[in-house]
Chains A and B, each alone.
Chain A
């Protein structure tokens, strides 16, 4: 492949392949050839086979000789017995013929034995054979070492060649095509291997799985190289390495999951570690390392490591902290896809649990649980957001306009106060107001001659009570942001309106509200982004674990809590949590995109 064969536009600005690359490739080829030759020649497997055959022939000849010797000894005894019998009765005809027969047998056995013995004598002794075999073995080991060394050197030369090749246009093409060919070969080989050794048990890993995974990785790398060539981009080692690591991680995950889900997996658990544990663990580590390699702008980090090492050191604790308390739990979303298996250690719990795919999610949605808690979370938050915003804006406008410094101060102090107390206290207040027997509300109703009501057995009532409590606690404090927005409105607008004869309410409607509208829209959109996040404190302290009210007060957060502490359905709770987190993130990104369109200054990112 020569550079001149390629379209001129695509090769502009790229260097020609360095001759060093070809030298490296040649060196690699020579080393490989020598290595293979050494390996082939050294073993002299034919001689070894021959020697082994000789040894076994010798052994069997020896055994045969032993048998013949035994037979010869028996015949000798029989002959002696026959002779003795004849001497005792010299004129017995039958004995004479018996003696003759015994003599014949004896001669035959003697002849056979002597023949076999001569044969064994002619063969090389066992010591010689063994000695030669050992010599061969030693030389074979030596040459194997040599061949391995040569192969290693060849790999190094290949790496060097690749390093030279990837910098140039035709080198990339060459590597890309070579990589694809290699990947294809690997995959074909793997398929062939799978055909040779078909999977017999369900869930068993096919023997070629890893080869296919590596093949896919190499193919991905080859594509990246080719893409870099097409776009005239420099080959990004980072990109390639990251992609390969992630591909290998994916392969490992597949293997690990298959091992965990094999029908006989349960019997393979050793120290409560699942059979696929190592695959999954290494896969997770590679996945993280690969993603980091892809994500990190190394040049900036290298710059700071050199120029601002102290600042890096000061940032280190926070990085470690977030890695452990935020990113490690993100790895833990894997629980959502497993049937939880308790062990004492995080990683073996995580990867030792049986992978069940999406069945946790399937259960949550098909049983209606997910819909119910999503509905409640969204509806409550919607009421909190809409009602809260209206009240906060109203209070802010009134607060900004009223006269009387000390009265203002009193109002502010009083309305802030609920923000400062814990939700436990709020729960106490609510209970003391609402409970059936001694609650203030019921006392008032009785005084007015009405029936007592037990809100703790009326599910629908909580759509009113919870928002009221939320407003009580948060509206006073939340109005500050609008107060400061109103303070920022230019006084000239009002003066101009006064000159035009506008009355006070007109000024509020046509000046104040339009001026703070961006703030209202932005804050509302921002809270819509977190509409999936429920206020656990509020719901738990006011409603608790009442089963009667669950229909109207179960939000995602309380469900997750219950599945952690009450039912211990870790997989199900994690699935609900992941669902919440994921939809929440999508919403935030969506809302941010909208905010960016309306008011770019307010966008979060």
Chain B
């Protein structure tokens, strides 16, 4: 392909123009992150006077100093987010793969009925308010981390994705052989299907984990107890209400408002909240590509 393209008329110009355009777009995508990193290390006074800049005149770590002088809130938020991500992903993966496996079994006559039962929930829903009241008054999930995890346990989309993965990845002859050898349905799932679908599990698990890590919406809806707030919601409340910042300010002993790194500390907090994602992102990127290209959902 490369060879052919190089001899074709017009390719050279296209290549250069495309590279420039894509480069600009890539730079635009990265720019906010770079600004966030630089901004968080800029002196607060300079930000207030002159705004953010890629090349600040005065560097400062005051924002981080303030955040880590009283890290309890951040640690607590981190702990909640890690718990909800790890526990939620583990339970969701088990539930989703088990249901996907049941739906992938061709000798299971009711699979289409059950699949439609799930699919219909993607088509029509009661809306936010009835769902909210069910979560609150029937399941009593208010102010528990379960409120954030439970909605992802059985995602209809993920179940169908998993079913397609298993259909493609595990030959149905394998089920028949194992049945002849005397394995039960549960055992086939645990000892044959799960080990064979580790790459798919990784893909779906990362989808779920990303959702749980980035969640702020469910936390805003269900959790009013600051002990149980997740990282993203803590970040949100810090950015949008002076309260969280004031608390840190009071605990860290900063007395004057002038000294308070009000703007840069928001960026520093953003850094703290996004850091882990930026760190693992290069390694998990390819799983997301796979998930998107394979995930044709059919009901």
Complex alpha-carbon distance, A574 and B130, angstroms? 7
Q: Which B residues, 93 to 132, have Cβ-Cβ distances below 8 Å to chain A?
A: 95, 98-99, 101-103, 105, 107-110, 113-114, 116-119, 121, 123-132
Establish whether residues A411 and B292, one from each chain, have CB atoms under 8 Å apart when the complex forms: no
Determine if A227 is an interface residue (Cβ-Cβ < 8 Å): no
Is B198 an interface residue when CB atoms closer than 8 A count as contact? no
Beyond the given pairs A415-B22, A560-B128, A577-B126, 18 more chain A to chain B contacts, judged by CB atoms under 8 angstroms and listed by A's residue number, are: A297-B113, A315-B114, A322-B154, A332-B127, A403-B5, A413-B282, A428-B266, A432-B267, A472-B28, A472-B29, A477-B292, A480-B289, A541-B236, A544-B240, A573-B129, A581-B126, A585-B124, A604-B298
Which A residues lie at the B interface, using CB under 8 A?
296-297, 300-301, 303-304, 307-308, 310-312, 314-315, 317-319, 321-322, 324-333, 335, 344-346, 349, 395, 398-399, 401-404, 407, 410-425, 427-429, 431-433, 437-440, 442-443, 472, 476-477, 480-481, 484, 491, 494-495, 498, 503-505, 507-508, 536-537, 540-541, 544, 557, 560-561, 563-565, 570, 573-574, 576-578, 580-582, 584-585, 588-589, 604-605
Task: Please tell me if B260 contacts chain A, counting CB pairs below 8 Å.
Answer: no
Q: How far is the CA of A157 from the CA of B118 in the complex (A)?
A: 43
Residue of B nearest to A332 (CB): B130
CB pair A422–B214 under 8 Å, yes or no, is yes
The docked-state distance in angstroms from the alpha carbon of A494 to that of B33 is 40
User: Is B150 a contact of A401 with CB atoms below 8 Å?
Assistant: no
The residues in B between 250 and 299 inclusive whose CB is less than 8 angstroms from any CB of A are 263, 266-267, 270, 273-274, 277-278, 281-282, 285, 288-289, 292-293, 297-299
A440→B52 contact, CB < 8 A: yes
B10 at the interface (CB under 8 A from A): yes
Given contacts A410-B26, A414-B26, contact A402 B128 (CB under 8 A): no
The distance in angstroms between the C-alpha atoms of A428 and B137, with both chains bound, is 34
Which of A318, A576, A577 is within 8 Å of B159, CB to CB?
A318
Taking a contact as CB atoms under 8 Å apart, the answer to whether A495 and B4 are in contact is: yes
Contact A577 B127 (CB under 8 A): yes
Which B residues fall within an 8 A CB radius of A? 1-2, 4-6, 8-11, 14-15, 18-19, 21-23, 25-30, 32-33, 35-36, 39, 47-48, 50-53, 95, 98-99, 101-103, 105, 107-110, 113-114, 116-119, 121, 123-135, 137-139, 150-151, 153-154, 156, 159, 184-186, 189, 210, 213-217, 221, 232-233, 235-236, 239-240, 263, 266-267, 270, 273-274, 277-278, 281-282, 285, 288-289, 292-293, 297-299
Given known A-B contacts A303-B109, A407-B19, A580-B127, A417 and B138 have beta carbons under 8 A apart: no
Alpha-carbon distance A333/B128, docked complex (angstroms): 10
A424 close to B235 (CB less than 8 A) = yes
Residues of B within 8 A of A561 (CB): 128
B270 and A504 form a contact (CB under 8 A): no
Across-interface contacts of B26 in A (CB, < 8 A): 410-411, 414-415
How far does the Cβ of B164 sit from chain A's closest Cβ, in whole Å?
13
**A325 touches which one: B50, B134, B266, B282 (CB < 8 A)?**
B134
Residues of B contacting A326 with CB < 8 Å?
A: 121, 125-126
Tell me which of A307, A428, A440, A536 has the highest count of chain B C-beta atoms within 10 A of its own C-beta.
A428
Q: Could you say which residues of chain B place their CB within 8 Å of the CB of A504?
A: 5, 8-11, 14
Residues on B with C-beta less than 8 A from A413 are 281-282, 285
Question: In the complex, what's the smallest C-beta–C-beta distance from B123 to chain A, in angstroms?
Answer: 5
**Given the known A-B contacts A314-B99, A422-B232, are A438 and B4 also in contact in the complex, defined by CB atoms under 8 Å?**
no
- In the bound complex, do residue A438 and residue B263 qualify as a contact, i.e. CB atoms below 8 Å apart? yes
Given A415-B25, A443-B52, A330-B130 contact (CB < 8 Å): yes
Cross-chain contact B110 with A503 (CB below 8 angstroms)? no
Q: B residues within 8 A CB of A578?
A: 126-127
User: CB distance A311 to B105 under 8 Å?
Assistant: yes
The answer on a CB contact under 8 Å between A403 and B2 is yes
Residue pair B293, A480 in contact (C-beta under 8 Å): yes
Q: Which residues of B contact A419 (CB under 8 A)?
A: 288
Asked, given contacts A329-B131, A560-B127, whether A438 binds B51 with beta carbons under 8 Å apart, the answer is yes
Q: Are A443 and B293 in contact (CB under 8 A)?
A: no
- In the complex where A428-B266, A560-B127, A604-B298 touch, is A398 in contact with B18 (Cβ < 8 A)? yes
Some 16 contacts from A to B, beta carbons below 8 A apart, are A308-B185, A325-B151, A329-B127, A330-B125, A395-B22, A402-B19, A417-B29, A417-B281, A419-B288, A422-B214, A425-B270, A428-B267, A438-B52, A494-B4, A536-B217, A581-B127
User: Which chain A residue has the least Cβ–Cβ distance from B271?
Assistant: A425
Chain A residues near B217 (CB, 8 Å)?
Answer: 536-537, 540
- In the complex, the chain A residue whose C-beta lies closest to that of B298 is A604
Q: Is the CB of B29 within 8 A of A564?
A: no
Instruction: Flag if A332 contacts B131 (CB, 8 Å).
Output: yes
Instruction: Find the A residue at minimum CB distance from B12.
Output: A504
**Smallest CB–CB gap between A21 and chain B, Å?**
34
Contact A324 B239 (CB under 8 A): no
Contact assessment for A332 and B299 in the assembled complex, using a CB-CB cutoff below 8 Å:
no
Contact of A577 with B214 in the complex, beta carbons under 8 Å: no
Whether the Cβ atoms of A401 and B134 lie closer than 8 Å is no
Cβ contact within 8 Å between B285 and A346: no
- Given A304-B108, A422-B216, A505-B10: A402 and B277 within 8 A (CB)? no
Q: Is the CB of B102 within 8 A of A317?
A: no
- Assess the B109–A330 pair: CB atoms within 8 A: no
Knowing A300-B109, A300-B113, A411-B23 are in contact, say whether A421-B52 is a contact too (CB < 8 A). Answer: no
Q: Which A residues touch B109, using CB under 8 A?
A: 300-301, 303-304, 308
Q: Are the CB atoms of B186 and A421 closer together than 8 Å?
A: no
CB B107 to nearest CB in A, in angstroms, measures 7
Distance (whole angstroms) from the CB of B258 to the closest CB of chain A? 16
Chain B residue contacts of A576, Cβ below 8 A = 127
List the A side residues contacting B236 at CB < 8 Å: 424, 427, 541
Q: Whose C-beta in chain A lies nearest to the C-beta of B51?
A: A443
CB distance from B291 to the nearest CB of A (A): 10
**Taking the nearest CB of chain A, how far is it from the CB of B40, in angstroms?**
11
A322 close to B117 (CB less than 8 A):
yes
Docked complex Cα distance between A297 and B111 (Å): 11
